[in-house]
Structure 1
Amino acid sequence: MIALSLRGVRGGVGTSSTLAGLAFALHALGQRVLVVDMCPENALGLHFNLDFAQHAGWARATLDQQPWHQSAWSIESGLCVLPYGELHAHEQDRLDALLLTQPQLWSQRQVALTEGFDWILFDLPQRLPGHAANPRCDFSITVVNADAACHVLLQRQPEPMPLLINRYDVACQLQRDLVLIWQHRYAQTLVPISLHADEAMNEALARREPVGRYAPGSLIAQDVISLASWCLLRGRRPE
């Protein structure tokens, strides 16, 4: 089983929608996929038609000392979603402290899932360092938009992870200029596929579906399929 995580360099760059689309694309390519929402906002489940006010989830079960795996939802055969669950702010902090003191917690869970899935995808939060660091991933991707804010934040990261450009608008001169800079500066880490800005992604969320299911012929759906293919090749390549 291959573990992959997505995390935005800042909030609002489209990490959850990208992860949902990637999960659906990998599944369409014959992979068994589990997506795990590590974010208290519970936004990931919206892309799979789960209730936004989802009380049950792995985080809720962990604090309540209940079987965490029973919170997973089967979207279709071979594609499952594990929501975060509903926690108050002080409970989120308590769980984060627990994850920091038990760094092997998710590693042990991942081992238990090996026989059931080919891929496990984690949607990581901006804050809560225990949540972000606990999963052990074979590779992690930082999601960015080609804008000034992301450019500044990237310069604060000494060793950036693989960078995925999302919502790329080729008609925007600023974006083209930033991408040229990044191609030079981050030549070894930039994912060779950019996800283009496409209204189909927003429409898919309104329909509460992954974009590949809602609009399989759209530009963004084809981009995500290309990303899934790249992940498959990278996942099979010895490090």
Structure 2
Amino acid sequence: MHLKALPALSDNYIWTLTAPHGRAVVVDPGEAAPVLAAAERGLQPAAILLTHHHHDHIGGVPELLRRWPGLPVYAPHDDRIPAATRRVGQDDRVACDGFGFEVIAVPGHTVSHIAFHGHGHLFCGDTLFSLGCGRLFEGTPARMLDSLERLAALPGATRVCCGHEYTRDNAAFARAVEPGNRALERRSQDIQTMRDRGQPTLPSTLADELACNPFLRIDVPEVRAALTARVPAEARGHERVELFAALRRWKDEFRA
């Protein structure tokens, strides 16, 4: 399988995964132009996978369907994605043209957000970012924490293919939360080198995220210590969820 990140809009990635037979799945095409350009270089779409309804992840679908009528579009159960040809949710499987993905419900960023896991890759949209997680536009901290923990249970070698190039900014926040994390320090240096060279910082691996991403490290003593003072005393009854909520609020307010 050959993975490719197509830059789109200001900081999105449209992911393509091409099988040995030459056909590819296209994930979250927020605009059509990068996919059409890739087709000029030989890309042959087999299906479109959509993780959630935001326009920067689905905006290119109508034009792509005009180019390839009948192309299957797999999307969550959400009427805000009118182009879907098959709705999928937790424990469903996508089987198309030799591809196979399990569907994982990951509400938090949106209530209907899903992820696709297969062939050693995780297409997680705006739920899990490298060194971060998505904003809680529609979900609750408890639901997002549960979603992230289900993703964290996947094999460590899983390649994390998220929707945006946010890694350098996320690294600055992660180091503010856990300044003594040596693995994070090394990762931050690598990220800076990649961005200086104009290279994507993605995909990462789940093992790297478990070692460095504060949103997957709520139970690490150093992270808990950094967060405890940010949790109101009257809200400490459900400690892990409150710590996660405090971490998300801190990130929302953070300026490097």
Q: TM-score range by the shorter chain?
A: 0.3 to 0.5
- Give the structure with the higher percent strand: 2
Higher helix share: 1
Q: Which has the larger radius of gyration?
A: 2
TM-score (normalizing by structure 1): 0.35
With normalisation by structure 2, the TM-score equals: 0.34
